[in-house]
């Protein structure tokens, strides 16, 4: 790397590292370039991550019709992707290409401090040239569309009457950025192809094109050990930003309502309202969608659209099998698009049942037989675990609000919880009484 930094600069850098007790290793990002390979077009940057021994291409690929949408003037996407691995390993970043002025400022000023605090690490130095020299004026509005509750409510918010103000969705997007399979590169790519196939009927119905982005970014994250929960938002933003010649605006579906904000060391989505809109450039504006809605409110919003039962796909069977503990139970004997008994299916169906009573219109897409077999056990779980699960908390509130009769298992849990609360209250009263007596007679 002496060639890049120069001898003097290298010595200065070593002195800086010594003073700041940092590693000498760095991450180098080359100027992005575009190449056609087989039937895809690639946006590529050569990445050298000295700590993790990664000296390979980092790439995004799209279908040929999106060639002119790929942004090679700025290395914005690649900087977003390397930020967390750099913070985690204490490496500075040097970028051999301009970075959009707005994004670079936001990363240095807000995004990096939030993630450094979250990961319990020191902030790093980013060597890059800020620029706003090239403007694209992209007219496209992208919207992630996995057809789950979050993405469907985002789509409807920005596609219907409410969204006809220049920010209405023009493209449905699907990204292979980790959530489609994190165990190997090929399965992520295969899942992307399957997801595009699944989205086609919806795309035909709403008459919008699908823009699918493949990437090897997940392989890089496996190498550097930054989790999907830490990096989910930045990975998604990076994929969308790679197409900033097309997407002047991009609708990002919020995971939590803004009043559910919490500083989390494990899941950066809890804090998305603080930094997601800052993942923007002079050419690309990230819109955090539905920050005012909880998951139950989003479910209530989408169920009012007559077409929802035909398209809703809120199932975790694949992700649980491939990403979380390799648990294949929900995939075994799966008869419909939605398995009906993974946590996400049960959450969605229980909310729909509470909100509209009859859920038989979801029969074609969901295995309702499986849901009914596991429903009572799930309601008991909601009451047992609601204190540390925000979605269960919402469902519990809805159950109480709707005065739904509880199954015996849940009744027993509520009885025990009431008993524990009464004992706690009695113990507290005794403690306060003892304290009063001690103060009065013993002057303690």
Binding site for Zn ion (CB under 5 A): 315, 317, 339, 342, 345
Residue number, 220 or 371, with CB nearest to Zn ion: 371
Residue number, 296 or 342, with CB nearest to Zn ion: 342
Least distance from Zn ion to the Cβ atom of residue 51, Å:
38
Least distance from Zn ion to the Cβ atom of residue 346, Å:
8
Residue number, 324 or 400, with CB nearest to Zn ion: 324
Residue number, 37 or 372, with CB nearest to Zn ion: 372
Least distance from Zn ion to the Cβ atom of residue 155, Å:
20
Least distance from Zn ion to the Cβ atom of residue 359, Å:
14
Residue number, 97 or 315, with CB nearest to Zn ion: 315
Least distance from Zn ion to the Cβ atom of residue 186, Å:
24
Residue number, 42 or 378, with CB nearest to Zn ion: 378
Least distance from Zn ion to the Cβ atom of residue 374, Å:
11
Residue number, 339 or 382, with CB nearest to Zn ion: 339
Least distance from Zn ion to the Cβ atom of residue 376, Å:
18
Least distance from Zn ion to the Cβ atom of residue 151, Å:
16
Residue number, 101 or 374, with CB nearest to Zn ion: 374
Task: Please enumerate, as own/partner, the contacts of 314-318 that have beta carbons within 8 Å and a separation of 24 or more.
Answer: 314/147, 314/148, 314/149, 314/338, 314/344, 314/345, 314/347, 314/348, 315/339, 315/342, 315/344, 315/345, 316/342, 316/343, 316/344, 316/345, 317/342, 317/345, 318/181, 318/191
């Amino acid at each position: 790397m002496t060639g890049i930094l120069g001898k003097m600069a290298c010595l200065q850098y070593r002195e800086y590292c010594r003073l700041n007790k940092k590693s000498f290793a760095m991450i180098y990002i080359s100027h992005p370039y575009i190449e056609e390979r087989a039937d895809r077009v690639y946006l590529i940057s050569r990445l050298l991550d000295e700590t993790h021994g990664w000296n390979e291409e980092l790439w995004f690929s799209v279908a040929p019709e999106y060639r002119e949408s790929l942004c090679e003037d700025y290395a914005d996407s690649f900087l977003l992707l390397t930020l967390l691995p750099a913070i985690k390993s204490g490496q500075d970043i040097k970028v051999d290409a301009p970075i959009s002025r707005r994004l670079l400022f936001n990363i240095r000023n807000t995004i990096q401090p939030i993630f450094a605090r979250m990961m319990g690490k020191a902030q790093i130095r980013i060597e890059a040239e800020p620029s706003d020299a090239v403007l694209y004026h992209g007219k496209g509005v992208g919207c992630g569309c996995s057809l789950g509750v979050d993405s469907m409510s985002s789509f409807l918010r920005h596609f219907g009457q409410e969204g006809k103000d220049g920010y209405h969705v023009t493209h449905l997007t699907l990204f292979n950025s980790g959530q489609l399979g994190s165990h190997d590169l090929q399965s992520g790519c295969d899942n992307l192809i399957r997801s595009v196939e699944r989205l086609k009927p919806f795309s035909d119905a709403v008459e919008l094109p699908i823009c699918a982005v493949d990437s090897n970014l997940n392989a890089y994250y496996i190498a550097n050990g930054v989790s999907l929960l830490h990096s989910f938002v930045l990975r998604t933003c990076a994929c969308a930003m790679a197409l900033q010649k097309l997407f002047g605006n991009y609708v990002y579906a919020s995971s939590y309502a803004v009043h559910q904000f919490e500083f989390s060391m494990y899941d950066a989505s809890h804090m998305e309202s603080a930094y997601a809109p800052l993942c923007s450039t002079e050419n690309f504006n990230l819109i955090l969608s539905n920050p005012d809605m909880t998951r139950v409110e989003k479910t209530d919003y989408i169920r009012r659209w007559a077409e929802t039962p035909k398209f809703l796909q809120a199932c975790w069977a694949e992700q649980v099998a491939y990403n979380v503990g390799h648990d294949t139970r929900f995939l075994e004997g799966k008869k419909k698009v939605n398995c009906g008994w993974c946590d996400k299916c049960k959450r969605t169906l229980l909310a729909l049942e509470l909100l509209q009573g009859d859920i038989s219109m979801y029969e074609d897409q969901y295995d309702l037989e499986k849901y009914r077999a596991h429903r009572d056990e799930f309601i008991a779980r909601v009451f047992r675990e609601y204190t540390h699960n925000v979605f269960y908390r919402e469902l519990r509130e809805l159950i109480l609000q709707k005065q739904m009769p509880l199954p015996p298992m849940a009744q027993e849990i509520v009885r025990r919880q009431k008993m524990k609360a009464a004992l706690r209250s009695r113990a507290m009263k005794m403690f306060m009484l003892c304290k009063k007596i001690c103060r009065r007679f013993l002057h303690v």
